[in-house]
Amino acid sequence: MYEHYQLSNKANIYLVPIDNTKSLTGLVLFPVGSRFESEKMNGSSHFIEHLMFKGTKKRPNTLALTREIDRLGAEYNAFTNKEMTGYYVKADAGYAETVLDILSDMLYNSLFDAKEMELEKTVVVEELKMYRDNPLMNIGNLFEELMFAGCPLGWDIGGTPRHVLAYNRDEVLRYRDRHYDPSNMTVVVAGSINEKVKDLLARYFGQEKSRFKASKVFKPAVFGSSSQQDRLLVDEKKTDQAQLMLGFPGFNHTDKRNATLAVLDTILGGSMSSRLFIQVRERRGLAYMIKSGADSFRDTGYVYVRAGLDAKNLNRAIAVIKKEIEKVIDKGISQRELADAKTHIRGGLSLALENSNHQADWYGHQALFMDKIHSPEERLREIDKVTADGVKRLAEKVFDFNQMRVAIIGDLKKEAVVF
């Protein structure tokens, strides 16, 4: 079970006690990411995340901040995606006060020193180069650029070097101030929680006053052109292995069909016994990595298949993937596949939730994006209700090859791709 309450400044608090653990995770989330940005400020959510580690009034530089966390043997990081920015520290529960002190200090008291901001621009640019030089890391960016061409969901989360180098400090701070109000903050503490944690949360997160109503404005999702020539994007790059990602429009965070979709994805490409793994890798030796999955946003989503393979085998692999999808559409799934997918999902979730940071992430995501908090058991009950007929009907709905987008990074020409 969890406990939810608000501090006097309207910061939302979620406490998730876990038995038989000695760790504690503090996770702070803001419902803001790259889709909330203007074109000029693309990447600024990610840039602000970086700047939170550059020093505070109490810990005036990066070394003072990170050394204090490192001496605890803690895990810590931050992340930005298209709809959310998060900061977390996981440590021995005996260091709960230090964890909450550091997180609140970063988020309320970061200096945003002008010199440090200029230095960090080059760091972020190098990060962007790292991703773009690595096809395995960059194929998702390319696919979303294709799927959501014409709206901010298609933009790179980190922006481009041109964007980053052109940031103006005052504009970055104005963007931060539109979103980083305590009333827009969700704090999740998961793990070994004692009676002192509430007092610590009030002390470290409740003192900052709410000054404004945070902006919730973002541009609605738009899918790119559905004409066949516009549904293929190839980044020609001299690589030993091509990266392939193909996909279809899917569902938003709250769609009731997501449970059925999770079962469908598990059967199609979610494990080493899945249909795609067996047919693409084991029976034909076309790829080392082959998997399927789904991603959701506030107003849309997508379903995808990914593979890494020799460019000369790419068309053959696409044909096999389409054939396996057509089998699900035409013939559905077996009762054994259905049962095995359900136990696979249950087992994977049980293992993940043994970890306090996964528990924090679960409840944080639910708090930000769902209509109500669903416990893991409630989610599994939804999975248990999925039927084979429901999976077949969903496959018929989702897998429209006239809407399939294909993104590729590799040593081949666009005109050589058959899809």
**Proportion of the chain above pLDDT 70, given as a percent:** 100
231 pLDDT band, cuts 50/70/90, is: very high
Statement: residue 400 has pLDDT above 90? yes
Instruction: Encode pLDDT of 172-200 as tens digits.
Output: 999 999 999 999 999 999 999 999 999 99
Instruction: Encode pLDDT of 358-379 as tens digits.
Output: 999 999 999 999 999 999 999 9
pLDDT at 1: 87
Given phi > 0 = left and psi -120 to 50 = alpha, else beta, which region is 17?
A: beta
- The span from the CA of 363 to the CA of 351, in Å, is 16
Helix axes 114-132, 169-179, angle to 10 degrees: 80
Q: Average of pLDDT values for 23-37? A: 98
pLDDT at 118: 98
97 pLDDT band, cuts 50/70/90, is: very high
Q: Are 399 and 325 in contact (CB under 8 A)?
A: yes
- The span from the CA of 228 to the CA of 319, in Å, is 16
Statement: residue 271 has pLDDT above 90? yes
272 pLDDT band, cuts 50/70/90, is: very high
Helix (H, G, I), strand (E, B) or coil at 294: strand
Instruction: Encode pLDDT of 310-367 as tens digits.
Output: 999 999 999 999 999 999 999 999 999 999 999 999 999 999 999 999 999 999 999 9
Neighbour count for residue 283 (Cβ, 10 Å): 10
pLDDT at 69: 97
